[in-house]
Amino acid sequence: QQQVKQSPQSLIVQKGGISIINCAYENTAFDYFPWYQQFPGKGPALLIAIRPDVSEKKEGRFTISFNKSAKQFSLHIMDSQPGDSATYFCAALYNQGGKLIFGQGTELSVKP
């Protein structure tokens, strides 16, 4: 299967809190897992990405945790800010340069 399942569908977090979004996949051939951020009316923009040989990757306030045996990965946003309010998509790719398979998206709202 090529499906990527994402949860939750929507998330409300207080300013300064931690936002956690989860994804699960079936195809063990996937070898690249990016997270994209999308604002209304804009195209998706790459936030952070990880490969399955690494269990965690951190860039600023954003961290990906990867569990290869469980076929799950998650995005953690530390010290969430109102400017982080957007829709977040996880994705997976198994053929370098090939198509991305996206999750259904999580609409994050950070309340001041």
Partner 1 sequence: DTGVSQDPRHKITKRGQNVTFRCDPISEHNRLYWYRQTLGQGPEFLTYFQNEAQLEKSRLLSDRFSAERPKGSFSTLEIQRTEQGDSAMYLCASTYPDSGTDTQYFGPGTRLTVL
Q: Which residues bind partner 1 (CB under 8 A)?
A: 6, 32, 34, 36, 41-46, 49, 89, 91, 93, 96-105
Q: Which is nearer to partner 1, 46 or 78 (CB)?
A: 46
Q: Which is nearer to partner 1, 19 or 34 (CB)?
A: 34
As to burial, measured by CB atoms within 10 angstroms (0-12 exposed, 13-18 middle, 19+ buried), residue 99 is exposed
Furthest CA-CA distance within the chain: 41
Alpha helices in 3-88 (DSSP H): none
Q: Which is nearer to partner 1, 25 or 36 (CB)?
A: 36
